[in-house]
Amino acid sequence: MAGDNAVVIKRIKKGGHGGHHGGAWKVAYADFVTAMMAFFLLMWLINTTTPEQKRGIADYFAPQSIAQTVSGSGGVLGGKVLGEDGAHAGGAQSVMQKQSPPAPSSATKALASGATQGGANASSTSNADSKSAQDGDFAHAAEAIHQAIQDNPDIANLSHQVITENTPQGLRIQLVDQDGRPMFQQGSNEPMPYTKKLLAAVGAIVATLPNRVSISGHTSGNDAAGGTSWDLSANRANQARAMLQTGGLGTDRIYEVAGKAGSEPLLPEDPNASANRRLSILLMREAPPVSAHAGLN
């Protein structure tokens, strides 16, 4: 019969799991390639930049506000302050013997103790408030200095050569040399044109604060040899003083002008680094004047 030779066709549908898996792997692969490119770029930058350029890159990504550090100079003392006796006696501590007064009565002792403690607490609170107020003034001054430099197209590219730092001694503003961009002509106290503009911008902000100013010049190990490096650093500091005064800083605000030569390098591990050649302008931290009638209420 014809029906016995009929051809039967079976249609088999394949499951959907063997097809397209989506494009998520492409995104992950692209992220991996991007990360590797960034890694190799970072390695290349590390191997081709100088220490000064690395410092500039680090300063660029750091917050613009001033740093709270305990080391202000990076010098021999590491920013620590000598005691009053040590500063005047070369480190020797004076020893004073005092004769004890007669022991007071209990009532007198209690009254004196209360008065002393109250006066000490008031003095401590006043000093803390004064320091907090000065820190706020210093922070605003540092931000204003960086903003003024960035807003001036003639010196905007020098912003990473101006370092502001809040130290126990006060607000330190440093104008640092960089390879190819020194602050003064080589071996001379003649400032570069952009140095004059930098000092004008800094001086305009410094003049708005009442603090006294200490100015010091620094050279590197490969600058003028012998005693002339001291003269060179002192002359550069004096030039900075004159330019700050031309910019409006009062003569009575100048506390000190000093040449430090290479005695306080910014980078002690590399005495010949160009960053060691710099001007340092310190807005001194000063306690408010004490009233002549304080404690006589």
What does the pLDDT read at residue 203?
Answer: 92
**DSSP symbol at 23:** S
Q: Give the pLDDT confidence score for residue 5 in this predicted structure.
A: 66
What's the distance, CA 82 to chain centroid? 21
Q: What is the pLDDT of residue 297?
A: 42
As a dihedral over the C-alpha atoms of residue 140, residue 145, residue 149, residue 151, rounded to 10 degrees, the angle is 30
- 204 neighbors 247 (Cβ within 8 angstroms): yes
Separation CA 78–CA 75 (nearest Å) = 5
The pLDDT value given to residue 43: 87
Residue 8: left (phi > 0), alpha (psi -120 to 50), or beta? beta
On whether the CB atoms of residues 138 and 284 are closer than 8 A, the answer is no
pLDDT tens-digit profile, the chain (297 residues): 455 566 666 666 555 554 555 678 888 899 999 999 999 888 888 888 787 777 777 777 766 544 444 444 444 444 444 444 443 344 433 333 344 445 555 555 555 555 555 555 555 566 666 777 888 889 999 999 999 999 999 999 999 999 999 999 999 999 999 989 999 998 899 999 999 999 999 999 999 999 999 999 999 877 655 558 999 999 999 999 999 998 889 999 999 999 999 999 999 999 889 999 999 999 999 755 444 444 444
Q: What is the pLDDT of residue 269?
A: 92
* Model pLDDT, residue 13: 59
d(CA 243, CA 264): 23
Residue 293 pLDDT:
41
Report all structural domains of the chain as residue ranges with CATH numbers, in order of start.
Answer: 52-69+128-284 (3.30.1330.60)
Instruction: Report CA-CA distances (Å) from 28 to 32, 36, 43, 93, 288.
Output: 6, 12, 23, 67, 61
| Cβ–Cβ < 8 Å for 174, 162 | yes
